[in-house]
Structure 1
Amino acid sequence: MELNENENGTSALEKATGVLHSEADLEEKDEALHSIEEEKPDYSTFSKKQLAELTKELAKENNAIKAELTLREIKPLYDEIAEKEKTEAKKRFLAEGGLADDFEYRGDEFDMAFDANARLIRDKKHQYMRQQEEQRNENLRKKEELLEKMRELLDGAGASNQYEAFQELQKQWKAVGQVAPGPAKTLWANYHALVDRFYDNQSIYFELKELDRKKNLELKNELIVKAEKLLSNDSLRDAIKELNELHHEFKHLGPVPKEEKEAVWQRFKVASDAIYAKRDEFVKHLQAELHVNLEKKLKIAEEVLSFATFNTDRIKEWNQKTQEILALQKQWELIGGIPRAKAKDVNKKFWNAFKAFFHAKNVFFKKLDEERDANLKIKQDLLAKAIQLKESSDWDKAANELKGLQQRWKDVGPVPEKVREKIFKEFKEACDFFFEQKRGQQQKADTEQTDNLKQKEAICQALEDAATNGTATQALLVDLQAKFAAAGFVPRNAMNSIRDRHSEAVEKFVGAIPGLSEQEKAQLSLQTQLSELKNDPFADKKLQQKEQNIRKKIGKVENDVALWKNNLEFFARSKNADSLRDEVNQKIKSAEEELSELKKQLKLIRSM
């Protein structure tokens, strides 16, 4: 063995090419290269559930080092989400009237799963490290035993098979795995001392030694060829891993002829340097690409920031903005990886704004759903009332109430989409049913009112004929009036004309009744008018108005009488006033008779 060792027990070849000291180091080195070649998922975008499920998969991972490294990366992300949920739970607890000292947060099934799997991952890693440590200690013990056997072999009497025995011990030494870096220096120093001592003491085996060195040269040349071929390997990660294995074999092969030593070393170093140069070039190119990707993602992250504060009360605008931000998300996902040192901050910037937008959107639609649910309850109440009114026969009252319900229905906002058509259809059917029934009833009433109009016109004609041909009597008037009242309602557009014709006909009829004084005719005319008012829907108002008119006339006549009586006193002191006095007395007498008649009419109205 002529490969030089430095003072730390590490060969110059190891130092130049990154040869590793332990299997754990190899796992970590392999994992570091893997992170360069294969972009890991962006764990910052994972939900709490996804992170918990990821730990479950990591717990099954055979590579304990890789699983534990991933756990280190995702645990702060999970803790951040869990802490946020705990804070929100505490806010709700306090908002509901709880005391801060009474608050206790137990977490959910994801928290328990995450913690359990995290412990399992750490336990597997610690177990793996203990096994590695135990293996290194065991390797140390084995190598110390082999060193002792080498000493015994060298201290013993010379034997023809001593060379083969020493070679076997060297083979066993090579087969033993790595030891801890601490005792490695002493082990390698003792090993090389014994090897040198063996070859120095075995000059009789010089030719065999030279043959062995030539054999070692052949083997090392084979390793060099393999190293040179690695340059064409498409997978840089696999090439680095295999190169480390070649370094390990190269290190444990025996010495080569001295004249070949430097050339062999240089050739192997050149092959190794080419692989690492390729790696460096790949990393350099990757870093440039990652930087370009970083600039692209920073630009998109800036665009998404404006969405974090977006707010509107229009559904259409929310949907439009959603399409825009999803388009940006698609662009974001198409961009490759970015430098790991910047990834967390950039991803946080993008996803915080992204989540803030959708949180605001969810709040808006939740509030909208609550309003629509409230509107649905109102419309359900309106529907129930419409269904109650649809069978009503109180046409005018029910029609007014239904029209009011229809107006309130229009004023109420939208309801959930899934029931919108159904509830409107039911409400419309209830309203349509009532108004169809009402129209049918109205058509029937219109026919009856037309018949009533014809009857009343015939009665008016009978009154007019009796007044003309001299057959008018009080008994006939009473009979015709009763028939007129019993005839019922007439069409609205004929009400005024038939009423006026009837009043005029009655006046003519009363005026044509023989044997009645003017006062009796007036009295009879008034009684007839009052009788008509009994069936008038506005009878109270009309009676009140008629009473006021009579009272005004009474007041005027009384004032006139008082004035005339006062004037009589002046006539008493005047000569030749007899004729004037008689004229005034006659006016007073006529007025008092009129006053008496008016008071009778007033009394008659009050009796109605």
Structure 2
Amino acid sequence: MMDSQEKALEMGMTEEVNNVEANAVEPQNASQVETPAGADNAQSDTGANIERPVYTSKKDILARVKEIAHGEDVPEKGEVDYLKTVFYKLHVAEREAKLKAYIDGGGDAEAYQITPDEDEELFKAEMGLIRERRARAFKEQEEEKEANLQKKLDIIEKIKSMVTSPEEANKSYKEFKTLQEEWKEIKNIPAGKANEIWRSYQLYVEQFYDLLKLNSEAREYDFKKNLEKKTQLCEAVEKLAEESDVISAFHQLQKLHQEYRETGPVAKELREQIWGRFKAASTVINKNHQQHFEQLRAKEEENLVKKTALCEKVEAIAAEENKGSGDWEKHTKEIIEVQAEWKTIGFAPQKMNVKIFERFRSACDGFFTSKAEYYKNMKEAYKANADKKRALVEKAKELSESTEWKSTSDKLMALQKEWRTIGVVPRKLGDQLWEEFNSACNKFFDARNAVNAGQRSEEHANLEKKREVIEKLKAIVADATENVQENVHKLIEEYNSIGHVPYKEKDRIYDEYHEVLDKIYKELNINVARRRLSNFKNKIKNVAEQGGGALDTERARLMRQYETMKSEIQTYENNLGFLNASSKKGNSLIDEMNRKVQKLKDEMNLVCEKIKAIDMQNK
């Protein structure tokens, strides 16, 4: 009900003028005034060319709304609607900015609560006052229209009573002129009655003038003045053709039509001519007005094409895969740019304007809903990751005071490895947690390094001592003497008595030491074996001279020794098959066992040579 009242209040006068124009008859049998095809649109666009102030804050809009609500003038609907539109545009933009800041800060979009806005509440209250004032004004205007209608009906009845005869017309001329002036002073009447009242009034006025014969001079004078007035109106309409603002020209034309109708008739022989001139000039304005709306409709169709392309663009962006926050922010920026472009495009055709906007908004809302869901899930993942990292921080802090250097080092390194497997958290919180975790680890390792500083110095000294022993062993290999074996044993004892070396150098010095020993043993074993075999051969000659089966006894002893060594070698080789050489410690053990096996094989070969020597002696 309120909407219809506001519309009627705003459009009352315009509607009455348009209806009168569309149906009024100037003289009898005269052509009708052309009503432009865009007349209905013209009404809806009333005030469209009014330049409105630009508002950049809700406070400024609220101040203007208060001024209107508490002023004396009737609130103008166009301005009220404009203020309402701009206020809520700023209000929604402000609310969306707060929501975006909340989400960007890690907030949950579903848990976000819209806080009451004091400006909005004040705005609604003032708009309520404006609606009440407009409702009162509408009611008063309707009452005034009904009163005006009755006044015009009374005037028509009075004129009607004057056109019964020429005598009555002549007697009532002055009264008739007074009634005409009164008619001009009466403003709006109900739009539905306007055409009927105007035709009735025009009919009896013309009849009065046709009966007015006795006072021909007065009648001719009236005809002359009316012709001058209508000629001026024709010139005014013809000049309107030069007006660049066709909307303004059209509305001025309505006023000129009203003046033309309220101007009395001209001489009967000139009525068609002056009316034809006025109508022709009006047709030019109406055609310009119609062309304007045809161009406007063409522009709206062009806008529809542009907006459809933007809808497709947003839909394509929304359909793209987002692999991470970078993609979401990139696509958000692209959609915001499209939204900014959308705002630069005017209206689409009325039947499609809402539909195309709904399509665009749906695509945008779909994207931002998915984005909110992504950040909600990411927030949950951040929380889980943060909880895991906090747990590691607590464990690291507990271990930071430990003095179990080896075991605690292993535990902390395991925690560091686990830390790297946990996903990301918000940067600020992540930096804070890493600082706490790293500080706890550094506290332990700094304490351990301080305690082990002296030990490392001793290990480096031990490394130098072992290198000196290795150099002496290398010298023995290069310059063998009679006491080689004794010297080698002394150096081995010296090497074994030296303590630990740095961990990183342990394997390298071990390999270097055993490499030179292997070379010494190889040379030493060959020489010793040769001497021992030569001594054995001399010994069995003496045993053979003694007789009594001594050689057979020695041969049986050597055979038992051979079998024992063979079995022992077999055991070592079987054990080697079960050892794992993946660790450095396992590899060292294998090397040591291989040396023992090789030594046993060398000893077994010597026993074989001794057995062969006995067999040769028995021959």
- Identify the TM-score tier after normalising by the shorter chain: 0.5 to 0.7
CA distance in 2, matches of 1:361, 1:177: 60
Percent sequence identity is: 28
Alignment of 1:439-588 (within 5 A): 439-447=449-457, 491=501
Alignment of 1:32 onto 2:41: no
Q: Pick from 22, 29, 33: which aligns with 1:16?
A: 33
Alignment of 1:37-436 (within 5 A): 62-64=75-77, 126-147=135-156, 163-180=173-190, 184=194, 187-188=197-198, 191-192=201-202, 194-196=204-206, 198-199=208-209, 202-436=212-446
Q: CA deviation at 1:178?
A: 3.2
Structure 1 residues 338 and 134 mapped into 2: Cα distance closer, same or farther (>3 Å)? same
- SS state at 2:75 partner: coil
CA distance in 2, matches of 1:296, 1:207: 68
Structure 1 residues 115 and 309 mapped into 2: Cα distance closer, same or farther (>3 Å)? farther
Q: CA deviation at 1:280?
A: 1.6
CA distance in 2, matches of 1:163, 1:146: 14
Amino acid corresponding to residue 203 of structure 1 in structure 2: K
Q: CA deviation at 1:138?
A: 0.7
Structure 1 residues 326 and 194 mapped into 2: Cα distance closer, same or farther (>3 Å)? closer
Structure 1 residues 112 and 18 mapped into 2: Cα distance closer, same or farther (>3 Å)? farther
Q: After superposition, give the CA deviation of every residue in 1:341-377 in whole Å (9 maximum; x if it has no partner).
A: 1111112112211221121112112221232233223
Amino acid corresponding to residue 353 of structure 1 in structure 2: A
Structure 1 residues 145 and 288 mapped into 2: Cα distance closer, same or farther (>3 Å)? closer
Amino acid corresponding to residue 75 of structure 2 in structure 1: N
Check whether the contact 2:318–2:367 (CA below 8 A) recurs between aligned residues.
Answer: yes
Pairwise CA RMSD: 5.1
Check whether the contact 1:68–1:122 (CA below 8 A) recurs between aligned residues.
Answer: no
Amino acid corresponding to residue 33 of structure 2 in structure 1: A
Check whether the contact 1:311–1:360 (CA below 8 A) recurs between aligned residues.
Answer: no
CA distance in 2, matches of 1:362, 1:291: 35
- SS state at 2:331 partner: helix
Structure 2 unaligned regions, length at least 5 = 1-18, 53-57, 89-109, 465-496, 511-619
- SS state at 1:232 partner: coil
Q: CA deviation at 1:388?
A: 3.4
Q: CA deviation at 1:273?
A: 0.9
CA distance in 2, matches of 1:238, 1:400: 88
Structure 1 unaligned regions, length at least 5 = 21-25, 41-48, 76-94, 97-106, 455-486, 498-608
Structure 1 residues 231 and 379 mapped into 2: Cα distance closer, same or farther (>3 Å)? same
Amino acid corresponding to residue 135 of structure 1 in structure 2: E
Structure 1 residues 14 and 321 mapped into 2: Cα distance closer, same or farther (>3 Å)? farther
Aligned to 1:467: none
Aligned to 2:591: none
- SS state at 2:45 partner: helix
- SS state at 2:187 partner: coil
CA distance in 2, matches of 1:270, 1:285: 23
CA distance in 1, matches of 2:208, 2:51: 52
TM-score, scaled to structure 2: 0.55
CA distance in 2, matches of 1:322, 1:19: 47
Q: CA deviation at 1:215?
A: 0.8
Check whether the contact 1:64–1:124 (CA below 8 A) recurs between aligned residues.
Answer: no
CA distance in 1, matches of 2:413, 2:319: 44
CA distance in 2, matches of 1:144, 1:369: 77
CA distance in 2, matches of 1:184, 1:447: 116
Check whether the contact 1:14–1:247 (CA below 8 A) recurs between aligned residues.
Answer: no
Q: After superposition, give the CA deviation of every residue in 1:200-249 in whole Å (9 maximum; x if it has no partner).
A: 55433211211111111111111122212222222222111111111111
Aligned to 1:466: none
Check whether the contact 2:170–2:212 (CA below 8 A) recurs between aligned residues.
Answer: no
Check whether the contact 1:389–1:398 (CA below 8 A) recurs between aligned residues.
Answer: yes
Q: After superposition, give the CA deviation of every residue in 1:464-505 in whole Å (9 maximum; x if it has no partner).
A: xxxxxxxxxxxxxxxxxxxxxxx99855879999xxxxxxxx
| More divergent stretch after superposition (217-226 vs 296-305) | 296-305
TM-score, scaled to structure 1: 0.56
Structure 1 residues 195 and 372 mapped into 2: Cα distance closer, same or farther (>3 Å)? same
- SS state at 1:204 partner: coil
- SS state at 1:336 partner: coil
Amino acid corresponding to residue 258 of structure 1 in structure 2: K
Amino acid corresponding to residue 16 of structure 1 in structure 2: V
Amino acid corresponding to residue 318 of structure 2 in structure 1: A
CA distance in 2, matches of 1:300, 1:178: 47
CA distance in 1, matches of 2:295, 2:194: 38
Structure 1 residues 241 and 441 mapped into 2: Cα distance closer, same or farther (>3 Å)? same
Amino acid corresponding to residue 409 of structure 1 in structure 2: W
| More divergent stretch after superposition (350-359 vs 174-183) | 174-183
Aligned length: 418
Q: CA deviation at 1:435?
A: 1.3
CA distance in 2, matches of 1:492, 1:200: 135
CA distance in 2, matches of 1:285, 1:351: 27
| More divergent stretch after superposition (323-332 vs 215-224) | 323-332
Amino acid corresponding to residue 431 of structure 1 in structure 2: C
Structure 1 residues 267 and 426 mapped into 2: Cα distance closer, same or farther (>3 Å)? same
Amino acid corresponding to residue 316 of structure 2 in structure 1: S
